[in-house]
Chains A and B, each alone.
Chain A
Amino acid sequence: MNHEAPLALDVLGIPWLDFNLSNVLMMFIASAIVFIFAVMASRNLQRKPRGWQNFIEWLIDFIKGIIGSNMDWKTGRKFLPLGLTLFTYIFVANMLGVITMAVFGHELWWKSPTSDAGITLTLATMVVVLTHYYGIKEKGAKEYGKDFFRPLPFLFPFKIIEEFANTLTLGLRLYGNIYAGEILLTLLAGLAVSSVGGFFGAAIPLLAWQGFSTFIGFIQAFIFTMLTMVYMSHKVSSDH
């Protein structure tokens, strides 16, 4: 249980530049898997879809549905690539830790990158910053600024707090779910390898928990994408 993270502190002598190398590795793997999957699925595109094309088109429809439930398609279409990438990346990242966890020496190398709060908060911050960017771009700086005083001027402080709260909850929700899942998986795996009885005792809960974690991973990716679009629609739609 006493796994440590493979840290690389003060890289290049810069005091604040610290890396958790397992995170870097897993982010790379997750990105690579998403990239390879998406590119493979969108090779040989045909008018009449076959095989993987069906799946990826279903995925596009799924994300379209998420966007469509928050804003009209004319404004929302430009967020489709963002939604698709977010969803697939987070889902794959969540799944990586469910499939297996690998420890080399005493260092935990293979895990979900999304089980690190820094990473999920980065994604959340990026999303919130993007909502502001598109808010200004779509409605103009004046309308964007006015939105902070709507519907009532005295709500302005709460609006400011809301932005930070959104960022925090968006990032920490994902982190908490995935991290908790990994903790339990680690504990169960530890129990399974401890003794023969422990193996039989832990096998079934481990399987069940992996199934549940898969479900959680999907749901969290969905929620993250959904909330991204909700925040986005708050900023870009004038009817909210």
Chain B
Amino acid sequence: MGAYTGWLVIGAEGGLMVGDMLVQLIFFLVLLALLGKFAWGPLMDMLKERESYISNEIDTAEKSREEAQKMQRDASEELKKTRQDAQAIIEEAKKTAGQQEQSIINSARTEAERIKVSAREEIEQEKEKAIQALQDKVASLSVLIASKVIEKELSEQDQQKLIDEYIKEVGEER
């Protein structure tokens, strides 16, 4: 039991062991150096590399996000422009169609006018011609009547009768 109680006292085995202390110091410093070279060093480098990798990745992601946004903006602008163009084309087409319609109507109207005018002229001419023909006929009839009158010295009655007859004849002929 004496030895056991001796254990409880610091360095009871005969004071602090200077050798142990030196060995501990050397061991620890060597361990520190070795681990620094073979374990902590590479680990720390690894951590740093990962850190820079992640920050790079974040930068890249940020950049590509911006790019994508820009592209999207461009695309939507493009779409808007295209839509406007389409609208303009439709407007244009409508306007042209309206103009064409108007011009077709106009030309049809002038054509109709022209046809009407020419028809009227034709009618006039025909009438003219008919009148001419009638005049010719009347002239020849007068000549005929005159010759008949001359041919037969007719009584007044007969003459009257004859005139009536011819007029009737002419009327029938017409």
Contacts and interface: CB of A to CB of B under 8 A. Distances in A.
Contacts, number: 134
Contacts of A113: 24
Interface centre among A4, A57, A82, A122 (most CB of B within 10 A): A122
Contacts of A82: 32
A38 B34 CA distance: 10
B47 A42 contact: no
B20 A23 contact: yes
Contact of B53 (A18, A47, A84): A47
A79 to B, nearest CB: 11
A24 interface: yes
Contact of A41 (B11, B30, B34, B39): B39
A129 to B, nearest CB: 10
Interface residues of B, number: 41
Contacts of A11: 19
B143 interface: no
B16 interface: yes
B17 A19 contact: yes
A123 B28 CA distance: 8
B36 interface: yes
A164 to B, nearest CB: 15
Interface of B: 1, 3-4, 7-8, 10-11, 13-25, 27-32, 34-36, 38-44, 46-47, 49-50, 53
Given A47-B53, A89-B28, 14 more contacts: A17-B18, A18-B14, A20-B19, A20-B20, A23-B23, A39-B38, A45-B42, A45-B43, A80-B40, A81-B36, A81-B41, A117-B11, A118-B24, A121-B16
